[in-house]
Structure 1
Amino acid sequence: MRLLNPSKRTPVALLNLLSQPARTLACILGVSFALLLIFMQLGFRGAVANTANIVYGKLRGDLVLRSPDYVHLYEPRTFDRGWMRMVQGHPMVERVDPFFIMLMRWQNPPRPAECTQAPPDGSFRTVGMMAMEIEHPVLDVPEIHHQLSKLKNPDALLVDRATRAEYGPGDCKRFSDKDIGSPLEVGNRLSHIAGHFQLGTGLATNGAILLSDVGYGLRAGIDTRQRASLGLVRLRAGVDPERAKAALIAWLDQRDPRCLQEIEVLTMAEQLRWERARWLKDTPIGMIFTMGVVLSFIIGAAIVYMILANDVSNRLPEYATLKAMGYSHWALARIVLVQSWLLAILSYLPAALISFLLYELTAGLSRIPTSMTWERFWGVLGLAFLMCSASGIMAMLRLWRAEPASLF
């Protein structure tokens, strides 16, 4: 006799959930909380990775020249610009421009009287100090370009509006036109704010400024005509960066073998991957957020397993009766799996919505770029199904051990 699958007649999995609404709601809340933790940990982890992309994503260059002692974006070390001039001579290269970046000491401007919660006057902070040649700008931020003439004064600087309030903006919240002309010290040198722009900071520093190469050299104590933090190579139209990199390395090795001991050549895509990997794998904060994702997954799986295992135990006589009637292991297991998938869907929707709101709130309060991405949206949905499926499979083991004879 051909046996019918009960799940084709009646939505047994759904009815199981609806039969105990309080327990089902508690399960949904528990799994939603675990998924919310995963979303937030991934969001913070993404902010760590974006610490490098914020700046590198706006730099004009197909290849990057850097020192072999390069540590990370804000500690790049320097190399001799003579090697940049040599690279400029390669037929695939259109031009090579320097970029300068490091962490520098910032002393807050005078505090307005109404900013009672602001740090006191003269407080010191660490700021990301960037610079480029005014005649050859390499930061692709349009609002910077019409302000470059202001940077001809080596003591003038532009401040990133994403810089946090602890750096002393005039309105106690964020830098704006109100701060233009405000005196402050950067690198023990008296400076003034000449304008502002929007780029973004990250987890390496809570503030960023832009100066001319001359102003940078006066504060960093280096001759920017001879040394650079990075060399940005722009290739001629139609030249593939990977092919150009290989050709350039071979060409430099023939011209002067010392060159490849003094500089490293990477494509911009390679540099971005390297920087992301460095922040995620080689820094404590990156590893903490990665571990947070793993622990959140385990917590969610444990919650679902406890709910499903308890449900199977309570309904063991019902399942065993169905087995006695001739239903297969897989027919019954399908009920448990569908039940776990329903929990995944019902738990995911509120978690995704709340995460989206928390991302926006976090970005607004901390000025750290956290946002929902499609990759994260679908990735966490996949994790939700994986987490609930794994718990369902574990609960099924208890179901399969049920013996019909024990009920009669």
Structure 2
Amino acid sequence: MTRLMTLLTGRLPIGWLQLAHSRTRLIAALAGVAFANILVFVQLGILGSLNDSTTAPYTLFGGDIMISSVDANTLLDGSNVSRVRLFQALAVTGVSDATALYIENVEWSRPDGGTSTLQTVGLDPKAAGFVPPHLSDTMLQLLLPNTILLDSGTRGLPTAALDGVTSATPYRLELSGQAVSAIGTVRIGGGFTADGSIYASDQTFLNLFPNRSSAAPNHILVNVEDGVDPAVVVERLQEALPGDVVKIGTKADVAAADLAYQTTERPTGIIFGFGVIIGVIVGIVIVYQVLSTDVADHLREYATFKAMGYAQRFFLGIVLEEAVILAVLGFIPGALISWGIYTGMSVATGLPLELGPDRALLVLVGTILACVVSGVIATRRLAAADPADLF
């Protein structure tokens, strides 16, 4: 390791030698950095799963623009929209088609005795322009009453339970007291508000939720004519429809607003966001304590160098060398342990937890920056030290 550090730094690796001199302190420091990494990784993982589970349902339907109730912040909350808005939207220049979207949660008592909450999406199968391409082949089969597509990633459902499910060999279940046949699957997975999803026709949706009316969908989906900018049509719709009753945005903007609401206004998102900040602070404090103690232990040696004419940047380089070493070596076990935690949590909760290279790189860069900040703070004492006062 000493030879490697010599090649990297082009000089004697004083920082590494000082860290390696006390193996007990080095191990304790690396454990502290790894712990901070684990804390950040876990919080980012759960926050990421919240983001993924929030935006995933938007892949179940198409549309360029969404018309929602003015009090709707997510797909499920808020008042229903009058179907009249659909016909008003069709009269706006630039609109090519529109359809109603129904969403509601239903409880499913699984065969194993457990219960799963399923987010049910209802859409007219004949509205081809609003059916995602990956579902177009099976969508027309949902015209048969009480046929659905069931989420293969439903929390609590065995992985192989839906293998081989087709219209000829359906998976039968009971929802809202009615016999329902799953003739295919979708893949959304569990989230924070539901354990899985169901894709159904609008008529099957209304059968499952008899208290709902076809005249009051959750949202109106709108497609624009070819070559027309959706943003321009949004402005036209905002002028044509009452702004105190509905709000209008592109589908991408609505999904982004939903995500922002979940992460910045809902308690869950705020808590996990603070968890990331706390993890960073913990890492800074731990590394600062280690580096500050190291500076104090070698203050006389540093003072000797200072008296010989070495500049402050020389000492800063040594401390920053230690900081980067602690960051990199502490990151490795932290990432490995976090990967194991991700795997265990994903199996136990069904949440979409994945430690991808982008997240790993983000945490590594953040760890290095946090350790560098700690190193800069730790050298402030050395900068103010007078060699004459230390001998």
State whether TM-score is above 0.5.
yes
Q: Which residue is 2:83 aligned to? A: 81
Q: Is the 8 A contact 1:58 1:141 kept in 2?
A: no
Q: Is the 8 A contact 1:128 1:208 kept in 2?
A: yes
Q: Which residue is 1:312 aligned to? A: 295
Q: Is the 8 A contact 1:97 1:136 kept in 2?
A: yes
Q: How far apart are residue 64 of structure 1 and its match?
A: 0.9
Cα 1:26–1:273 change in 2 (3 A) is same
Q: Provide TM-score, normalisation by structure 1.
A: 0.84
**C-alpha RMSD over aligned residues:** 2.6
Q: How far apart are residue 159 of structure 1 and its match?
A: 1.0
2:45 aligned with 1:54, yes or no? no
Kindly provide the amino acid, as one letter, of the partner of residue 26 in structure 2.
Answer: T
Q: How far apart are residue 132 of structure 1 and its match?
A: 0.7
Cα 1:199–1:275 change in 2 (3 A) is same
Q: Provide TM-score, normalisation by structure 2.
A: 0.88
CA offsets, 1:292-346, max 9 Å, x none? 1111111111111111111111111111111121222232122112221222222
Kindly provide the amino acid, as one letter, of the partner of residue 104 in structure 2.
Answer: M
Q: Which residue is 1:114 aligned to? A: none
Runs of 4+ in structure 1 over 4 Å off: 171-174, 178-183
Q: Distance in 2 between matches of 1:307 and 1:94?
A: 65
- Which of 35, 38, 51 matches 1:36? 38
Q: Is the 8 A contact 2:131 2:139 kept in 1?
A: no
Cα 1:373–1:249 change in 2 (3 A) is farther
Percentage identity across paired residues of the two chains? 27
Kindly provide the amino acid, as one letter, of the partner of residue 346 in structure 1.
Answer: L
Which structure 1 residue ranges, 5 or more long, are not aligned?
1-6, 112-117, 254-258
CA offsets, 1:36-61, max 9 Å, x none? 22112111101112222101144312
2:191 aligned with 1:202, yes or no? yes
- Which of 146, 163, 176 matches 1:176? 163
Q: How far apart are residue 356 of structure 1 and its match?
A: 4.3
Q: Which residue is 2:269 aligned to? A: 286
User: Any residues of structure 2 matched to 1:4-403 within 5 Å, and which?
Assistant: 9-108=11-110, 111=111, 118-119=112-113, 124-137=115-128, 138-140=130-132, 142=134, 144-165=135-156, 169=157, 174-177=161-164, 181-221=170-210, 225-250=214-239, 252=240, 259-356=242-339, 358-373=341-356, 375-403=358-386
Cα 1:291–1:368 change in 2 (3 A) is same
Q: Is the 8 A contact 1:71 1:77 kept in 2?
A: no
Kindly provide the amino acid, as one letter, of the partner of residue 237 in structure 1.
Answer: D
Q: Distance in 2 between matches of 1:264 and 1:358?
A: 41
Which structure 2 residue ranges, 5 or more long, are not aligned?
1-8
Q: How far apart are residue 141 of structure 1 and its match?
A: 5.7
* Count of aligned positions: 380
Q: Is the 8 A contact 1:43 1:372 kept in 2?
A: yes
Kindly provide the amino acid, as one letter, of the partner of residue 243 in structure 1.
Answer: V
Q: Distance in 2 between matches of 1:371 and 1:303?
A: 27
CA offsets, 1:239-285, max 9 Å, x none? 222232123323x15xxxxx333321111222112111111122222
Q: Distance in 2 between matches of 1:107 and 1:77?
A: 28
Q: Distance in 1 between matches of 2:347 and 2:225?
A: 40
Cα 1:407–1:148 change in 2 (3 A) is closer
Q: Is the 8 A contact 2:15 2:318 kept in 1?
A: yes
Kindly provide the amino acid, as one letter, of the partner of residue 66 in structure 2.
Answer: V
